[in-house]
Structure 1
């Protein structure tokens, strides 16, 4: 599902305490087909944009433009929620709680998460309603994306016109030994040059070994390293060790286990990626067309002053 794969953390950025309209004494800034967008909704958006209301009062035209943009976000969401209701699209409690529990997992315990919410002026109920809304919007956008397809000709055309964007940087698989002492680094390198197995030397200095897994890094690109270290590693041939290489935290002896040269992916290799790119583009275009039409046919009243 294209839209649902986007991070649900966006639910924390656009929070409305009244998910599906209803009566409220809050000042109303807009109405969408008779349903209210309240000042409270807008204030919450301002808060999550990291802007204090008092500061925006002095911002003049910038303040007005920002309020207009945020109000439009809320209007667009209201239109999507209304359309979702018509299509009987909903999120059940189990789905909502799964997302909530995933958020809580980032904290030692739920109370720590709730404490963070209170510091932001939020409540668990607000978050649950926000998650529900975000799930409904995601399902609605997924429903719009159904039927989107890409032909073989479109795939090939996009690949041919963007071939260089499918270039894959040189990849290396390394084993690395780190030591804080230059003398020790030279001794290690000397032993390796005399025929000592690099893996044995790495095990001999386990505290300084920086590889992953079974004593090696896995496939990585040189942009993983600072420029000076990367430059030194490029001079090491596959199957040999080089160094000592000076770094900020000590000295490195590096063995290049394997190299994959830089290349441009073939069409077959890039095909799935190309398909995902074009499917997302078409889904986005279809949504924007729907939104434009929905706004054109909706009764939208802007009641905000200033």
Structure 2
């Protein structure tokens, strides 16, 4: 192993940077956040060293011969073997382009794109301030500059841009106005629980059905799952004819 990749050695067993990364991946991103510093990485290395020490001690004490350990090992082996058997059943299953297109045509309604809009906004604390900002907009101040100057929302850094959204993603008072505006227009002050919004509608898209290429990956995943499930159930039916099954 490269010296650059080595972080510790325990009785000759090498611990690498890859082992550190695997440890962080295994504990999940939320927990891993606690270790994203030199001190945190040192704690991870210390823990990996501790685990190797415990392993060496367990070997010396011959703990692998304990009945409790053998029971746990047998159950773990059985579960791993079951998972491996399932993976062997579905491993070679693939999809064909014509299968995907056929599934898409038969299930087009599942690929509806709901109505969506793109909007920017300026958020202020009270209606008087909102009306003052609207006056400046009417006098020629750009919406983007007004957002940067007056908005209390973090979107001010992007000129107030909120991106594209569908119904149900914004508070009702906001979306009721946004979805009934014309592209390019600016709203009167809109009151919500967050304050007063001045909304500018920048784009509007009617509800539609996604074309095949847009959802091809999604269709592939769905068709693949269906084929895998079919193969799995077929195998189970065969095994039920081979082994005695009693359900109580």
TM-score, L = length of structure 2: 0.62
Q: How does 1:144-223 map to 2 (within 5 A)?
A: 144-206=89-151, 208-211=152-155, 214-215=158-159, 216-223=161-168
Equivalent in the alignment of 2:203: 258
1:159–1:132 distance in 2 versus 1, CA, 3 Å: same
Q: CA deviation at 1:289?
A: 2.7
Find the aligned partners of 2:79 and 2:133 in 1 and give their Cα distance: 56
Find the aligned partners of 1:96 and 1:141 in 2 and give their Cα distance: 25
Asked if the contact 2:147/2:156 (under 8 Å) is kept, the reply is no
CA offsets, 1:54-83, max 9 Å, x none?
A: xxxxxxxxxxxxxxxxxxxxxxxxxxxxxx
Q: CA deviation at 1:275?
A: 1.6
Find the aligned partners of 1:146 and 1:219 in 2 and give their Cα distance: 39
Q: How does 1:205-284 map to 2 (within 5 A)?
A: 205-206=150-151, 208-211=152-155, 214-215=158-159, 216-284=161-229
Matched residue SS, 1:175? strand
Q: CA deviation at 1:133?
A: 8.4
Q: How does 1:282-293 map to 2 (within 5 A)?
A: 282-293=227-238
Matched residue SS, 1:174? strand
Find the aligned partners of 1:192 and 1:201 in 2 and give their Cα distance: 7
More helix by share: 2
Unaligned 5+ segments in structure 1 are 1-92, 111-128
Equivalent in the alignment of 2:52: none
1:191–1:212 distance in 2 versus 1, CA, 3 Å: closer
CA offsets, 1:12-36, max 9 Å, x none?
A: xxxxxxxxxxxxxxxxxxxxxxxxx
Q: How does 1:39-58 map to 2 (within 5 A)?
A: none
1:94–1:257 distance in 2 versus 1, CA, 3 Å: same
CA offsets, 1:251-301, max 9 Å, x none?
A: 111112223332211223232321211111111222233334445544668
1:180–1:141 distance in 2 versus 1, CA, 3 Å: farther
Q: CA deviation at 1:213?
A: 6.6
- The counterpart of 2:28, out of the listed 86, 98, 102, is 102
Find the aligned partners of 2:86 and 2:21 in 1 and give their Cα distance: 17
Q: CA deviation at 1:203?
A: 1.0
Unaligned 5+ segments in structure 2 are 1-18, 41-72
Q: CA deviation at 1:212?
A: 7.9
CA offsets, 1:102-149, max 9 Å, x none?
A: 267267479xxxxxxxxxxxxxxxxxx999988776555443222223
CA offsets, 1:28-59, max 9 Å, x none?
A: xxxxxxxxxxxxxxxxxxxxxxxxxxxxxxxx
TM-score, L = length of structure 1: 0.52
